[in-house]
A = this chain, B = another copy of it.
């Protein structure tokens, strides 16, 4: 069975659109706003920012994108963060990652006002995500999208053996923390993990976020495994072997092989990707509602 992120995200985006238009009809001139900062011109980052901007427009969020040159200093970026922090028409702030190497990412993310931190990367939000009994103001969008998919398809988590491949701050770490909170038994793997296959083959659920095209093969998984594939990789299109510039987007999981055995699997594209954008819309909407309610 396909975990259909495209379908679910469409429904969530529609709900948010209705909520926003409902709110705006009653409260003229107030609209949710998202401030986006992008530094440099990485092609993938530009694509992501564009997708987010388009979805904002669709659901009724006013987006303001500030693009800074790749050689901007930490202070330049902090200046924009402060402008967004102080602007009451900006309810959510998104700093598109990765930032150029010379920028102090920690300093930039820590400067985002915690109640506008719709990406959920502020240290306090991550700390509250980690600790049981605590609730962060915002949860990072990609892991949140994965959890919503699991919830939608009623995949039980408590007591399940989950293998997470990758431990990045943006995806692998936060989703591991969320799964731990749901009482799953979580094994967090990284590039130094030995005998990865011997671990994945025991897993009830595999979450892959390592950026290795089609690494998880059919013989890496057990029957009826649930697969969340967060990888976005571009390989030579096998249907056009003679055209090296024809690319195909694939995940970390070999879909054709693994889907034969899995009970549930996210496709790439159309799985986690659209959920990430929908969760950003949802986080921004919640930031908006929280800020306009507290200022009334």
Contact = CB atoms under 8 A, between A and B. Distances in A.
A17 to B, nearest CB: 32
Nearest to A135: B106
A106 B123 contact: no
Interface residues of A, number: 38
Contacts of A168: 132
Contacts of A43: none
B199 A189 contact: no
B192 A183 contact: yes
Interface in A169-184: 169, 173, 176-177, 180, 183-184
B192 A159 contact: yes
Number of identical protomers? 2
A81 interface: no
Interface string A74-108: 00000000000000000000000000000001100
B185 A186 contact: no
A13 to B, nearest CB: 29
B177 A199 contact: no
A13 B159 CA distance: 41
A280 interface: no
A263 interface: no
A187 interface: yes
Given A106-B134, A185-B199, A192 B158 contact: yes
A34 to B, nearest CB: 23
Contact of A130 (B130, B185, B187): B130
Contact of A122 (B122, B127, B169, B183): B127
Contacts of A131: 123, 126, 169, 173
A185 B194 contact: yes
A123 B132 contact: no
A105 B127 CA distance: 15
B127 A159 contact: no
B187 A187 contact: yes
A133 interface: yes
B188 A130 contact: no
A187 B190 contact: no
Given A158-B192, A185-B189, A173 B132 contact: yes
Interface string A179-215: 0100111111111111000010000000000000000
For the complex of A and B, 10 pairs with smallest distance between CB atoms: A123-B127, A127-B127, A126-B127, A159-B192, A187-B187, A185-B193, A183-B192, A123-B124, A131-B169, A124-B124
9 contacts: A106-B134, A123-B123, A123-B128, A126-B130, A126-B131, A127-B127, A127-B130, A185-B188, A185-B190
